[in-house]
Amino acid sequence: MASCSYTVPDKNASGDNLYGSIICNQAYIDYFWNTYGFSGNKDYWDDGFGWEDPCNTDKPLARAFNACYLLTYSAEDFSNESWDAPILNWGRRYVRNNIDDLRSLCGDGSAIARAYSGIFVDDRVEVYLGFFYSKDVPGRAETLIHEARHMGGKSHNANFPAGSVFGGGKSGADSSWGYEGAWMYGALYLWWFYAAGARTTSAMKQRARQRGNLVIDNAFATHPGFSI
Ligand SMILES: [Zn+2]
């Protein structure tokens, strides 16, 4: 994999120091590698992306593992993955079931991540530099949920509202909260993480709340009419 250049933002603010101190454990590394679509994709995670250095939270792989930890263990009773439980519980199961091919690429800056699926398509999720370096750890978990929802068959079906930070009038929004699309799944996950997240800090929860509200305010053609 070609190397690409990046700068590493404040790792206390992003949560990478917090979670990075936990994920540097072979049991976690093996579990995440084998569970969330990394396995079989060494070529996409080696060289500068961290395969040789999975505890180094300057590098993409460890930063992805931080999100995997959050996604896996943020419910108090994380072993309960029932679909009847909050998304904080079953989010890990949903991502596990829907993303079996996760690839890291430099990208061209136009997207955080992309999901590819369909007939004659090599089903996969690609994550780009913005995933690792513009998003904090809760935001990366949101992206995994979002892309998993695409892999689960739900596309965007609307244009962003006027003034949206995601580009007013451009495609890529969801029509409404009730559409239960990728933006709704991501925001709902952040909401639950804010409200009930375990094994984290109040600072991380506040960041999740901010991001969730940004999604609610900018990613739906019809505003859901509430905030977190
Ligand atoms: Zn999307």
Does 212 have pLDDT greater than 50? yes
- Domain membership of residue 142 (yes or no) is yes
Q: What is the pLDDT of residues 147-179, one digit of tens each?
A: 999 999 999 999 999 999 999 999 999 999 999
Long-range contacts at 122-131 (CB < 8 A, ≥ 24 apart): 123/151, 125/37, 125/99, 125/101, 125/150, 125/151, 127/60, 127/64, 127/102, 127/103, 128/104, 129/4, 129/6, 129/60, 131/64
Q: Could you tell me if 164 and 143 are in contact, meaning their C-beta atoms sit under 8 angstroms apart?
A: no
Quote the pLDDT of residue 1: 45
> Cα(197)–Cα(212) distance, rounded to whole angstroms?
14
CA 164 – ligand 1 centroid, Å? 15
CA 169 – ligand 1 centroid, Å? 15
- Domain membership of residue 224 (yes or no) is no
- Domain membership of residue 1 (yes or no) is no
CA 63 – ligand 1 centroid, Å? 21
CA 147 – ligand 1 centroid, Å? 6
CA 137 – ligand 1 centroid, Å? 18
Residue in 93, 97, 215 with CA at minimum distance from that of residue 164: 215
User: Structure tokens of 56?
Assistant: 């180094």
CB environment 19-52: b (16+ within 10 A), e (fewer): bbeebeeeebbebbbebbbbeebeebbeebbbbe
Crossing angle for the helix pair 137-151 and 202-218, to the nearest 10 degrees = 50
What number of other Cβ atoms are within 10 A of residue 134's Cβ?
A: 15
Q: Could you tell me if 91 and 69 are in contact, meaning their C-beta atoms sit under 8 angstroms apart?
A: no
Beta strands per DSSP E along 46-183: 102-104, 113-116, 124-127, 158-159, 171-173
CA 27 – ligand 1 centroid, Å? 31
CA 97 – ligand 1 centroid, Å? 18
What is the pLDDT averaged over residues 119-124?
A: 92
Q: Could you tell me if 157 and 181 are in contact, meaning their C-beta atoms sit under 8 angstroms apart?
A: yes
For ligand 1, an ion, list residues with CB under 5 A.
182
User: Structure tokens of 199?
Assistant: 């094994």
CA 105 – ligand 1 centroid, Å? 17
- Domain membership of residue 3 (yes or no) is no
Quote the pLDDT of residue 47: 86
- Domain membership of residue 4 (yes or no) is no
- Domain membership of residue 225 (yes or no) is no
CA 226 – ligand 1 centroid, Å? 21
User: Structure tokens of 157?
Assistant: 């079906």
Q: What is the pLDDT of residues 28-64, one digit of tens each?
A: 999 999 999 999 999 999 989 999 999 999 999 999 9
CA 52 – ligand 1 centroid, Å? 30
CA 21 – ligand 1 centroid, Å? 30
Residue range of the domain that includes 149: 14-218
Confidence of residue 20 (pLDDT cuts 50, 70, 90): very high
Task: Give the number of domains in the chain.
Answer: 1
- Domain membership of residue 21 (yes or no) is yes
CA 171 – ligand 1 centroid, Å? 10
CA 55 – ligand 1 centroid, Å? 29
- Domain membership of residue 227 (yes or no) is no
What is the pLDDT averaged over residues 89-115?
A: 97
Quote the pLDDT of residue 2: 55
Quote the pLDDT of residue 4: 85
